[in-house]
A and B are shown apart, each in its own frame.
Chain A
């Protein structure tokens, strides 16, 4: 257990160092000079040099990288060029909306994915199985903006059941979360179906049936516990992916999450924010994977870490 944890932590640290190198390099790919962007067009050469010196951008590149990492270790993601605020403050202010949307999206993904996947796996080869599989393909092939705008048009505009967008109570959450849940649910249901079908072929399931257990209990208690493992790994991955924000859905519904922050920053090429969000997401993806690994032995005691 400890050994596994240590080796996984080691890997994670390696990946995170790599991520900092790439986010750092991203800043040098940008053709625009950040100093010019801060100083404005009419700034005198002396002011420009002054700002360049203040930001440490006149130092050699390796030294700049070391400074960048040192600040990161102290929890300092730098300061936004445009908004003149700490990036960590900006990200923290978007965190509640992002976490709420993440929870809603994962809820719908699991609801759709588990129901459809189990339904299809217990009716292999039947019409309903094929119908679910076609529906799951439609779910994964539908562009998020189409699903989002369609739901918005039908449920908010025509039926007036939900607000047209914005952030606030549960009413605002349902459509954006459902939009994300439809796409993710499509993947989940495919994974769930094939995993459940494999489990239901195993001997212990036959034993459970032979001793007279109700089919419902066989599938939902004995089957599900093993069959859900690959889905748990997917949730771990999704936690990380949603931490970078759902740019498209947030833009369709005007949801003030990290995705919107990143999108606005990308449009004005506000590098510190882009670097900060990418890094936060990468950390979340690494942690999400680690979390999925740690949860697994609790669901399936045969798995030892």
Chain B
């Protein structure tokens, strides 16, 4: 493990990604203290005389939105939405995917076959369309959006875990433990699961990138987390029609989404390099 960490820390891109993630977490958690203004306050001097939003200046660092609210403060609070969705939705997807993949790979038989055929079926669905339809049907709150994302994102993890479990299940030490009288839940969770932790760690990290992008996309289409909760995709949705006149309202939150997804992708990729010997040199 220490070798793996050394390898990880030698990867400068991964370190940069970790730093950005740390900053986003800090910004989101510390938003009430770090934000220069209340994210909901509509400033009288936050709009031009004609009522147009202000471009970035000394008072409003990233400019103001259509209602004269400070964009920087809204972005800080929006980081919370992205982080919560990233952790909850992706966490749920990882738990569901890992559990089903483990059971399918270890129990095999009709149950395993049924689970894997179901993942085939899910792969044949256009994920984005399914998420959009579900989100639109269920009038989304923060938790519904997280649930919808988890429902479409668990499939890949289940397949990866399944493949690894099938190969682990045939190892001799498993046979030996079974001979000693261990029942299958014990075999699965005490003797198989720990070997899968590196894979789970890698996929959890990469999954956050996918989740953040999907959440932003849903919000952009207007079916994400409802206002007044600030979310990065939501800010873009609100200001989209005004974007040729006030492009900063679209670009700053868009770049925030990009940076967050990019950081998690870089870190996840570096973890895969560091933890998975079969991927070495790729």
Q: Which residues of A contact B (CB under 8 A)?
A: 11, 14-16, 18-19, 22, 26, 29-31, 134, 137-138, 140-146, 149-150, 153, 157, 194, 197, 240-241, 243-245, 247-248, 251, 262-263, 266-267, 269, 274, 277-278, 281-282, 285-286
Which of B128, B136, B282 is within 8 Å of A197, CB to CB?
B282
- Minimum CB–CB distance from A6 to chain B (whole Å) comes to 17
For A144, the chain B residues whose CB sits under 8 A away are 217
**Residue interface bits B83-127, CB-to-A below 8 A is 1, else 0:** 000000000000000000000000000000000011011011110
Q: Measured between C-beta atoms, what is the minimum distance from B78 to chain A in Å?
A: 14
Binary contact readout B225-255 vs A (1 if CB under 8 angstroms, 0 otherwise) = 0000000010010001001100100110011
Task: List A contacts of B269 (CB < 8 A).
Answer: 137
Contact B137 A31 (CB under 8 A): yes
Q: In the complex, given contacts A137-B265, A262-B129, what are 12 additional A-B residue pairs having Cβ atoms less than 8 angstroms apart? A: A19-B125, A141-B262, A141-B265, A143-B261, A146-B255, A146-B258, A149-B243, A243-B126, A262-B132, A263-B132, A278-B130, A285-B123
**A141–B261 alpha-carbon span in the complex (Å):** 5
A269 lies within 8 A of B258 (CB): no
Residues of B within 8 A of A146 (CB): 236, 250-251, 254-255, 257-258
Nearest chain-A residue to B232 (Cβ)? A143
Q: Which residues of B contact A29 (CB under 8 A)?
A: 134, 137
From A22, A141, A244, A251, give the contact of B258 (CB < 8 A).
Answer: A141
Residues of B within 8 A of A194 (CB): 282
Residues A141 and B125 in contact, CB atoms below 8 Å apart? no
Cβ contacts under 8 Å, B240 to chain A: 149
Which one of A26, A153, A277 contacts B247 once the chains associate, using CB atoms below 8 Å? A153
Whether, in the assembled complex, B34 has its beta carbon less than 8 Å from a beta carbon of chain A, the answer is no
- By the criterion CB–CB under 8 Å, are A266 and B132 in contact? yes
Contact B136 A266 (CB under 8 A): yes
Q: Mark B124-160, 1 if CB is under 8 A from A, else 0.
A: 1110111011101100000000000000000000000
Bound form: Cα–Cα A104–B21 in Å: 35
- Chain B: interface residue total (CB-CB under 8 A): 41
B4 CB within 8 Å of chain A: no
A72 to B258, CA, bound (A): 41
Question: Are the C-beta atoms of A251 and B209 separated by less than 8 Å?
Answer: no
B139: nearest residue on chain A (CB-CB)?
Answer: A31
B117 shortest CB reach to chain A, Å: 7
Q: List 29 A-B contacts (CB under 8 A).
A: A18-B121, A22-B121, A22-B125, A137-B262, A137-B266, A137-B269, A143-B217, A143-B233, A143-B257, A143-B261, A146-B251, A146-B255, A146-B257, A149-B240, A149-B243, A194-B282, A244-B128, A248-B221, A251-B221, A262-B132, A266-B136, A269-B136, A278-B125, A278-B126, A281-B125, A281-B126, A282-B124, A282-B125, A285-B125
| Structural contact, A143 and B220, CB atoms closer than 8 A | yes
Determine whether B52 belongs to the interface, using a CB cutoff of 8 Å to chain A: no
Chain B neighbourhood of A281, CB < 8 A:
125-126, 129
A50 CB to nearest B CB, Å: 26
Instruction: Report the separation of the CA atoms of residues A181 and B117 in the bound assembly, to the nearest whole angstrom.
Output: 31
The docked-state distance in angstroms from the alpha carbon of A18 to that of B261 is 33
Instruction: Return A23 CB to nearest CB of chain B, in Å.
Output: 9
In the assembled complex, the Cα of A285 lies from the Cα of B126 at a distance in Å of 8
For B117, the closest partner residue in chain A by CB is A14
Min Cβ gap A124→B in Å is 9
Give the residue of B118, B120, B133, B217 whose beta carbon is less than 8 angstroms from that of A145: B217
Contacts of B216 in A (CB 8 A): 143, 145
Chain A residue with minimal CB distance to B126? Answer: A244
A99 to B246, CA, bound (A): 33
CB distance from A267 to the nearest CB of B (A): 7
Contact status A143-B221, CB under 8 Å: no
Is B254's CB under 8 angstroms from A149's CB? yes
Q: Is the CB of B126 within 8 A of A140?
A: no
Asked if residues A138 and B258 are in contact (CB atoms below 8 Å), the reply is yes
Interchain CA distance A22-B255 in the complex, whole Å: 36
